[in-house]
Amino acid sequence: MTIARREFLRRTAAVSIAFGGLQAAFGGRTAQGALATRTRGLGPLVPDPRGVLDLPEGFSYQEMAHVGELMDDGFFFPGKPDGMAAFPGPDGKTILMCNHENDINWPKSPFGRGNTLLGKVPEGRIYDRGSGKTPGTGGCTVMLYDTRTRTRERLALALAGTLYNCAGGPTPWGSWISCEETTHRAGSPATLEQDHGYAFEVPVRLDDLPVKPVPLKAMGRFRREAVGVCPRTGIVYQTEDIDLGLLYRFIPSVPGKLAEGGRLQALALPGACAFDTTNWFRPGMSPGTRLPCRWVDLTDPESPEDTLRYQGESKGAALFSRGEGLWYGTDGVYFVSTTGGPKRLGQVWRYLPSPAEGTPGEADAPGMLELVLESADSTVMKNADNITQAPWGDLIVCEDGPNENHLLGVTPKGQVYRIAQNVASKSELAGCTFSPDGTTLFANLQGDGLTLAIRGPWSRVQAG
């Protein structure tokens, strides 16, 4: 839940004072100014005659799913599509896992008007029935899509009964982790039967659905946004979407077996005090700056109380302004702070894991935190949210600002270019992810309840 304003200001002022001495030790670089916009070979966006999505010349989109439509399993597409990931499917097809950020009493229930289809969900296959009155209407759906014929072949409910499933992330062993960005308690409201605020691992499959929901409680209970998993170690990195949240990592007892428990930690930077990364009150880390990291242990991660970030702060964990999208890329863990930076327009970060990540040896060769990008111009980038890495190495960022929102590309040099603009509404874009064959970029217009497939001459971007 959001920090009360008075407590929020007290805490930020305290960590800013503590940060001042540490800032001087690292040169006190100032934040980067306005970023240079580039087209990266794409050219300007062309107005969409249908009024949905503006794209560069030569690109097109296809509407793949729409809120309220009847799915192949007899349930309804829940709307508010958010984080996604694409997986190799049978016969070269793509399986797309899609979260749905629906809270209590969302009217577009997958179980129909009045939740009349709730009885169709098998026993043990729904996390929270809400006493039959307020079932969790979030969860995630699964889609089978053929990029060659551009046809959707199946759409079904994969995870049922969870709430506010925002982002998540794929695992190296081929499953999807869906994250609840809420900390609702059982009994609040009275009809809820379960505590919420957990991650759920969802097998990527097209039958025997919805899956049995198992909360990964050892990974912590908080307003979790997104996760990324290191293929080398199996360590899971997690963001927290709250004004001053933490970056977490979960070291599983058995790599690839998240339900068997492990150790939860929070990222900290040099010094004993919590490091304020927001750059709100005084210049701090500037783009390109790298600092060595340490990790602090968090106890009682399975506690139903939403207090992990306070525990982490007391142990010196770094504070981030609304950690949202995260993607384990080819060259590190990329994540965003949606309202970071002096103008609160967003930051993009990269964590470079230690060669000895998660072992005592990382004390001698620590992982590094780098501020990749910090926006000072809302016309260039504002309020970065979901993030992925393109096949050619650039980052793809979804905007979640108050007005017009774009899909953006970010080059390794920090140059920003536009790929698309939502012209259907002021809704955020979400869920950017590429098909395994690299031909198709999937994205959601969340408030419009639309999942889209974008195709075009991506080779122009790579050559641009």
**pLDDT by residue (tens digit) across 135-166?**
999 999 999 999 999 999 999 999 999 999 99
Is this prediction's pTM over 0.75?
yes
What average pLDDT does the structure give for the chain?
A: 90
Q: Which of 55-64, 228-237, 295-304 has the lowest mean pLDDT?
A: 295-304
Of the candidate CATH numbers 3.40.50.300, 2.120.10.30, 3.20.20.70, 3.30.70.270, the domain formed by 5-463 belongs to 2.120.10.30
CA-based R_g, the chain, Å = 21
- For the chain, how long is the longest CA-to-CA vector? 62
Q: Which of 33-47, 115-129, 157-171, 279-293 has the lowest mean pLDDT?
A: 33-47
Q: In b/e form, how buried is each residue of 208-234, taking b as 16+ CB within 10 angstroms?
A: ebbbebebbbbbbbbbbbbbbbbeebb
Q: Which alpha helices (DSSP H) does 222-345 contain, by range? A: 308-314
pLDDT at 302: 86
- Is the backbone of residue 456 left (phi > 0), alpha (psi -120 to 50) or beta? left
- 3-27 pLDDT, tens digit each: 333 333 333 333 333 323 323 322 3
pLDDT for 184 beyond 90: yes
pLDDT at 401: 92
